[in-house]
Amino acid sequence: MAASSRAQVLDLYRAMLRESKHFSAYNYRTYAVRRIRDAFRENKNVEDPVEIQILVSKAKRDLEIIRRQHRFCLPEGAHWALAFHAWLHISKYTWNLVQPNFIF
């Protein structure tokens, strides 16, 4: 991986982790952080520049989705089932966290 690609990927990784920590609900926060880490680890050995660019563009899209979605989380103490149901409803159309091919 070229140095500029590596720096770009690391910046995206840090930004995604930073943004996911803004989720007010603990379960969302920990799930998002775990999925981001897993996805980046899964793809750390990709060396094809075209595939790297595809993954970077998906990560940028997902970062914007994370930034939009943490507005929809309910504050701590809110009923988790209601929050989770709302989140799943939204994620069906934007951020498919429940599918194994999430981010990259």
Q: What is the pTM (predicted TM-score) of this model?
A: 0.65
| Average pLDDT for 70-80 | 57
Beta-carbon neighbour count of residue 1 at 10 Å? 15
pLDDT 10s digits, 2-42? 666 888 899 999 999 999 888 888 888 898 899 999 999 99
What residue ranges do the domains of the chain occupy? Answer: 6-94
Question: What is the helix (H) or strand (E) element at residue 50, kind and residue range?
Answer: helix 49-69
pLDDT attached to residue 1: 60
| Average pLDDT for 81-100 | 51
CA angle 94, 99, 100 (to 5 degrees): 135
